[in-house]
């Protein structure tokens, strides 16, 4: 914990409230794009498409068309939850022998896997998995969308034509990955100064620097006209795949054609007087379900006394996830770089949508033909052979994403978070705050949280009282961390809620760009 940070400064956000629709995302302009769609009469799904594409332009290191993810959809007219999986997959031509262990211990990125020689499963073209985000957006739009697809992609095209503005926050993010970005000429040309230096920015906010995203704008224009087919069987996908093979990766057009979005029956989790709907299969949904089942056996008399119970439930859930979940085995019921947004429209339809490149800047590789920053989904696999989630050709990636739909007496909400392995800790506690203790969105987001994703120690918000910390120390070693804009010691959630016909939206307090925007705002 930094001793230099101010102890008297307070950062707050207010809850957005309206009778109409709301979009809550990690980028204000993406939320505005989605809210404008709602104002024009669009469905929550239409707003999600617009928000998703703008996120990929203005938060390119978190997500984009060359990524994947999952979404939970609530259809108010039928009272039904739908799970939509657009996760990534290992290319069919992947060679496991290309990923020898280095013998240098654990990797340094998001997972405790053994380190691979040259970090090939983390950085570079060999780390690129098969994306499916665009197909996921189109699958939902095809089923429920009201507005023309091209109109929904248009805001992202406009932002890409203008180029993402590099403010202090963007400059700091880019600076953290400068060394790896410099290894790929196309990533270096897009994000760095003279191909090797962090981008400068004006402390006064007067000077303006923008990233050249004109090639990305051209590719988005193709997607606006031709839809997901351009990526999953068309010339755009073929060019992107060829770029990755030219850089030493495995991606092919056949891989893209074969990895399509899939609607699935949601995993429904009863918890006390509440019901949650999450993603099944190779996501963090089963891990959330496990944590909530563990938590149901605990007595939670107050938020302050609940933290040790949260830690025990999360440790059990993460242990089950890391030991048992994988592509080849049965998925047990108890089992980075990402962005999450949540949408509610005036009719009460909801979307909880999480999309990702996995690591910050994904593989740190840009496809020059498309202008897309590529994912590093291969890092989701354990590089050690013979384990449930071991690396292999054609295997489905085990994602950390956990979009959630929840309902309790008089309330319905959609939420999720970014933050890799930290996501489940965040959404589990938010679920408990809102159902066990009746907190509204503002109170739930302000409440201090813990993270137990390491499986060995608890990272606790430094704002927690000393007696709470002592109780946590009886469960596992505790490390205190202050919530800050950078770095993020905890996950970054976004949520919307429907209560008595009034709609509410909120984003993580410490998210510098994140905001909830009402459709009339």
First-last CA distance in the chain: 38
Sequence-ordered list of residues with C-beta below 8 angstroms from that of 407, at least 6 positions apart, any chain: 274, 275, 276, 413
- Gap between the Cα atoms of 104 and 129, Å rounded: 24
At 493 the pLDDT is 96
Backbone angles phi, psi at 376, to 5 degrees: -125, 50
Q: List, in sequence order, every beta strand (DSSP E) within 362-420.
A: 366-367, 372-373, 404-408, 411-418
At 327 the pLDDT is 39
Paired tokens of 222: 């193709």
Q: Is the pLDDT of residue 125 over 50?
A: yes
Paired tokens of 243: 């770029």
At 326 the pLDDT is 46
Residue in 368, 61, 52 with CA at minimum distance from that of residue 214: 368
Q: Residue 6, class by beta-carbon neighbours within 10 Å (0-12 exposed, 13-18 middle, 19+ buried)?
A: exposed
Segment 421-450 shows an average pLDDT of 96
pLDDT over 90 for what percent of the chain? 82
Segment 408-433 shows an average pLDDT of 95
Answer for the pair 372, 219: CB distance below 8 angstroms, yes or no. Answer: yes
At 2 the pLDDT is 59
Q: Average pLDDT over the chain, rounded to whole?
A: 93
* Greatest alpha-carbon span in the chain: 61
- Gap between the Cα atoms of 262 and 392, Å rounded: 21
Q: How confident is the model at residue 6 (pLDDT cuts 50, 70, 90)?
A: confident
- Gap between the Cα atoms of 483 and 488, Å rounded: 7
Q: Is 145 helix (H, G, I), strand (E, B) or coil?
A: coil
Q: How confident is the model at residue 336 (pLDDT cuts 50, 70, 90)?
A: low
pLDDT digit string, tens, across residues 25-79? 999 999 999 999 999 999 999 999 999 999 999 999 999 999 999 999 999 999 9
Backbone angles phi, psi at 72, to 5 degrees: -110, 130
Backbone angles phi, psi at 516, to 5 degrees: -100, 135
| DSSP notation for 4-62 | SS-SS-----PPEEESS-EEEESSHHHHHHHHHHHHTT--HHHHHHHHHHHHHHHSTTT
At 332 the pLDDT is 34
At 26 the pLDDT is 96
Range from 95-109, 218-232, 255-269 carrying the lowest mean pLDDT:
95-109
Range from 72-76, 105-109, 442-446 carrying the lowest mean pLDDT:
105-109
The residue whose two tokens read 């070693």 is 477
Segment 422-442 shows an average pLDDT of 96
3-state secondary structure 149-189: HHHHHHHHHHHHHHCCECCHHHHHHHHHCHHHHCCCHHHHH
At 204 the pLDDT is 64
Segment 4-10 shows an average pLDDT of 76
CA dihedral of 199, 204, 207, 213, whole degrees rounded to 10: 50
How many separate helices (H) and strands (E) can be counted in the chain?
15, 21
Of 304 and 8, the structure prediction assigns the larger pLDDT to 304
At 5 the pLDDT is 73
- Gap between the Cα atoms of 466 and 459, Å rounded: 14
| Neighbouring C-beta atoms of residue 452, cutoff 10 Å | 29
Q: How confident is the model at residue 200 (pLDDT cuts 50, 70, 90)?
A: confident
The residue whose two tokens read 């100064």 is 193
Answer for the pair 479, 486: CB distance below 8 angstroms, yes or no. Answer: no
At 333 the pLDDT is 33
Q: Is the pLDDT of residue 329 over 90?
A: no
Answer for the pair 359, 177: CB distance below 8 angstroms, yes or no. Answer: no
At 206 the pLDDT is 65
Assign domain 16-95+111-163+212-518 to its CATH architecture: 4-Layer Sandwich (3.60)
On the CB side of 319, CA atoms within 13 Å amount to 10
pLDDT over 70 for what percent of the chain? 94
Segment 417-426 shows an average pLDDT of 93
Residue in 153, 170, 253 with CA at minimum distance from that of residue 209: 170
- Gap between the Cα atoms of 43 and 68, Å rounded: 22
Q: How confident is the model at residue 1 (pLDDT cuts 50, 70, 90)?
A: low
Q: Is 412 helix (H, G, I), strand (E, B) or coil?
A: strand
Residue in 385, 373, 382, 504 with CA at minimum distance from that of residue 443: 504
pLDDT digit string, tens, across residues 477-491? 999 998 887 777 899
Q: Is the pLDDT of residue 273 over 70?
A: yes
Q: Is the pLDDT of residue 202 over 60?
A: yes
At 331 the pLDDT is 34
From residue 261, how far is each of 83, 101, 151, 228, 296 by CA, in Å? 10, 32, 22, 10, 33
């Amino acid at each position: 914990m930094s001793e230099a940070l101010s102890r008297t400064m307070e950062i707050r956000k207010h809850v957005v409230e309206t009778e109409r629709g709301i979009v809550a995302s990690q980028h204000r302009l993406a939320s505005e794009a989605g809210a404008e769609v709602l104002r024009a009469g669009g469905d929550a799904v239409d707003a999600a498409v617009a928000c998703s594409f703008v996120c990929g332009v203005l938060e390119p290191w978190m997500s984009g068309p060359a990524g994947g993810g999952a979404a939970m959809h609530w259809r108010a007219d039928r009272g039904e939850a739908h799970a939509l999986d657009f996760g990534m997959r290992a290319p069919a031509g992947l060679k496991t022998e290309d990923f020898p262990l280095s013998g240098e211990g654990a990797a340094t990125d998001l997972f405790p896997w053994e380190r691979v020689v040259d970090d090939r499963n983390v950085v570079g073209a060999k780390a690129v998995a098969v994306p499916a985000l665009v197909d996921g957006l189109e699958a939902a739009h095809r089923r429920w969308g009201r507005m023309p697809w091209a109109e929904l992609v248009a805001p992202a095209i406009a932002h890409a034509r203008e180029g993402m503005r590099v403010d202090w926050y963007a400059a700091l993010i880019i600076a953290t990955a400068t060394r790896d970005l410099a290894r790929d000429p196309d990533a270096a040309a897009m994000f760095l100064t003279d191909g090797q230096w962090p981008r400068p920015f004006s402390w006064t906010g007067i000077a303006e620097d923008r990233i050249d995203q004109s090639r990305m704008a051209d590719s988005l224009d193709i997607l606006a006209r031709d839809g997901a087919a351009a990526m999953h069987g068309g010339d755009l996908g073929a060019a992107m795949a060829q770029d990755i093979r030219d850089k030493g990766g495995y991606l092919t057009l056949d891989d893209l054609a074969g990895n399509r979005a899939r609607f699935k029956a949601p995993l429904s989790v009863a918890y006390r007087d509440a019901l949650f709907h999450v993603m099944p299969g190779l996501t963090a949904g089963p891990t959330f379900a496990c944590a909530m089942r563990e938590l149901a056996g605990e007595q939670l008399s107050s938020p302050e006394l609940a933290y040790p119970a949260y830690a025990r439930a999360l440790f059990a859930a993460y242990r089950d996830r890391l030991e048992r979940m994988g592509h080849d085995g049965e998925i047990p019921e108890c089992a980075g770089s990402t962005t999450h947004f949540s949408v509610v429209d005036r009719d009460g339809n909801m979307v909880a949508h999480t999309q990702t490149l996995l690591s910050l800047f994904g593989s740190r590789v840009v496809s020059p033909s498309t202008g897309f920053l590529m994912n590093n989904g291969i890092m989701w696999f354990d590089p050690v052979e013979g384990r449930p989630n071991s690396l292999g050709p054609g295997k489905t990636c085990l994602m950390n994403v956990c979009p959630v739909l929840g309902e309790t007496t008089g309330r319905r909400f959609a939420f999720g978070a970014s933050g890799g392995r930290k996501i489940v800790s965040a959404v589990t506690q938010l679920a408990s705050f809102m159902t066990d203790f009746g907190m509204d969105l503002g109170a739930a987001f302000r409440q201090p949280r813990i993270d137990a994703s390491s499986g060995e120690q608890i990272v606790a918000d430094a704002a927690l009282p000393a007696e709470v910390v002592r109780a946590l120390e009886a469960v596992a070693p505790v490390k205190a961390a202050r919530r800050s804009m950078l770095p993020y010691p905890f996950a970054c959630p976004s949520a919307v809620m429907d209560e008595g016909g009034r709609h509410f939206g909120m984003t993580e307090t410490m998210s510098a760009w994140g905001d909830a925007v009402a459709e009339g705002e």
